[in-house]
A and B are shown apart, each in its own frame.
Chain A
């Protein structure tokens, strides 16, 4: 096994120009030089609040957008989004979105949803495609009977399984998971997190896991990158960052996250009683 990271970015920046009707656009730097590495079979969690640039980063890693400057390397090979991008390279990175209600075409049967990536980027015939879709349906805990059903016939958790399955159809090496469980109920969230863990072990997948939920991040991540205003404020191993967050913003984030801690509940109730008694 080589030590080459599956994904590496070097000083990646991304500018957006806001153009007004009268011209004179303003340049907004959404990413201010991001360096990151994801090793094979590992999970990098990207944490930050809205506007911090994590979705812009996701678009660049997924090779949807090109960075304004900087380099993106997949398996050590530099990638240029545009004409030079081969199907073989594009297959290596796939994405799963937050909202499984919006990310599946309501008029497409599940079998077709899963077969489409194969149609687009492999030369498999219809029979081979069907066989692979059936195998994948089983792998994610659905059955052959689901092949001809439409998205609305599935629950949110099942749809997210389907979205994950679609991403896996072309045997990617890296999955970008953009808030994959934040639209799901707690009990369903647990199932999806377990599924992702199983798939990671089975296929040696690398994950870039974008999330705002620190308890989920703590559960899934090997490394954690905290972003604010397009910059990385802290980027360390999960154990280090949760043991002792260094950057003030990381601490602010951790402190703001609701916790279930009986001692904390007791202190809160006592403080409230004292405040009411004191008028």
Chain B
């Protein structure tokens, strides 16, 4: 049984021109302990699908699905209260802009402790000790001293580490990382990806990595879902995807990578024309 199972997910937003379907008939499953990469260009619905699963979309979104289960528990019929107990504890999420994800008015220590207070029975002293432990686990030097730092006193990479510490606070079984390194420099990106992969194996945690970067997919994923305009184009294990891409869209995307250019020119990827044909 997959840890997360979503079948026939459709997310529609009401717009002035009628409903817009950001995700249509999407099936996604994540097994315990695996890294699933969801890759797609902007507007492919890769973030929306996961936000819908987390219950984090605004009320204007209409989310329908045949099945939406986490660890066998039905997320669709569950009360909001029960669902909140899962979000943040068993399923955690980190986002693209680490500096914007943290509250600028509170110390990072406070923000880690806040999660522990909400989701664990630890007392104040234990929470403080655990927060320091978490900062250390995500590679923040001098964690004790950093507890009283504000987000603006830290770099983007360090803020993302703090976000990861908050996400890891309750040992989640599934971590959803939405473009976690897109705003970061490439050397920092490598550090953060290495950290995430290390935590993932160490805690036997499942991870969904949402990204637009095929290189990041190749360096991190076990399995890959390729999305385009709300639809799943292809699903494959990572090696098959890069060695034998099946779907024309996947092939077109891979051919558009500068490193795959034959001669001086990049191929013209006319996605719209291809979609019209298909």
Contacts and interface: CB of A to CB of B under 8 A. Distances in A.
In the A-B complex, the 10 residue pairs with the closest CB atoms = A258-B215, A219-B258, A190-B266, A187-B269, A185-B41, A49-B185, A256-B190, A190-B256, A260-B218, A256-B187
Contacts of A269: 222, 238-239
A272 B200 CA distance: 10
A148 interface: no
A264 B190 CA distance: 15
Contacts of A219: 258-259, 261, 266
A197 B268 CA distance: 14
A255 B243 CA distance: 22
B212 A191 contact: no
Contacts of B264: 197
Interface residues of B, number: 40
A194 to B, nearest CB: 6
A252 interface: yes
B134 to A, nearest CB: 22
A156 B253 CA distance: 18
* Chain A contact surface mostly: helix
B188 to A, nearest CB: 8
B201 A257 contact: no
B42 A185 contact: yes
Interface in A43-96: 49-50
13 contacts: A49-B188, A186-B256, A190-B258, A191-B269, A194-B265, A215-B215, A219-B258, A258-B219, A259-B219, A259-B259, A262-B239, A269-B238, A269-B239
Contacts, number: 106
Interface in B182-226: 185-190, 193, 197, 201, 204, 212-216, 218-219, 222
Contact of A252 (B187, B212, B257, B267): B187
A253 B271 contact: no
A191 B201 contact: no
A257 B252 CA distance: 22
A212 B186 contact: yes
B219 A276 contact: no
Interface string B236-262: 001100110000000011101111010
Contacts of B42: 156, 185
Interface of B: 33, 41-42, 185-190, 193, 197, 201, 204, 212-216, 218-219, 222, 238-239, 242-243, 252-254, 256-259, 261, 264-269, 271
A237 interface: no
Contact of B218 (A197, A220, A264, A276): A264
Contact of A266 (B219, B239, B254): B239
A156 B42 CA distance: 10
Contacts of A187: 41, 252-253, 256, 269, 271
- Residue of B214, B252, B266, B269 with most chain A CB atoms under a 10 A cut-off: B266
B218 A193 contact: no
A265 interface: yes
Nearest to B214: A260
Interface in A93-107: none
A216 interface: yes
Given A256-B190, A276-B201, A185 B242 contact: no
A262 B242 CA distance: 7
Contacts of B257: 186, 215, 260
B29 to A, nearest CB: 20
B241 to A, nearest CB: 9
A132 interface: no
A193 B215 contact: no
Interface string A181-213: 000011101110110010000000000000010
Contacts of B252: 187
A261 interface: yes
